[in-house]
Amino acid sequence: AQSVTQPDIHITVSEGASLELRCNYSYGATPYLFWYVQSPGQGLQLLLKYFSGDTLVQGIKGFEAEFKRSQSSFNLRKPSVHWSDAAEYFCAVGPNGPGGKLIFGQGTELSVKP
């Protein structure tokens, strides 16, 4: 069955500290991989995506993610967290092709301490 697991429901980090949000997936074929962020009152915003090629992808707001096929993982990282990064983060997979539904993880809520 196709699924995405985000094992951490809630994470708190101090401002300036590094961040890693975990994501593991189960998918029959090679999927497209995504990280979205949702700030309060906002829609989901795409942070970054992986299709193929370089397994380390850069996104907006200083985020990056690394695809590890052997571990079926696509973890999100940021070297130094800012207070404005407090939000909920969603990992998702989609079919390797046009259109198609996304399968999401449960989300990880990030709190940032001053």
SS3 16: coil
Pick the binder of other proteins from 76, 81, 87, 105 (CB under 8 A). Answer: 105
Task: Find out whether 50 and 25 touch, Cβ atoms under 8 Å.
Answer: no
Instruction: Provide, rounded to whole angstroms, the least separation between the CB of residue 93 and other proteins.
Output: 12
Interaction of residue 22 with other proteins, rule CB under 8 A: no
Pick the binder of other proteins from 14, 58, 71, 106 (CB under 8 A). Answer: 106
What is the spatial distance between Cα 59 and Cα 20, in angstroms, rounded to a whole number? 14
What's the angle, vertex CA 107, arms to CA 38 and CA 45, rounded to 5? Answer: 25
Task: Find out whether 75 and 65 touch, Cβ atoms under 8 Å.
Answer: yes
| Binding-site string for other proteins from residue 36 to residue 75, where x marks contact by CB under 8 A and - marks none | x----xxxxxx--x-x------------------------
Interaction of residue 99 with other proteins, rule CB under 8 A: yes
Tell me how far CA of residue 112 lies from CA of 8, 10, 60, 88, in angstroms. 15, 11, 18, 12
Candidates 11-19, 23-31, 59-67, 93-101 — which segment interacts with other proteins by CB under 8 A?
93-101
Interacting residue ranges for other proteins, rule: CB under 8 A: 4, 32, 36, 41-46, 49, 51, 90, 92, 97-107
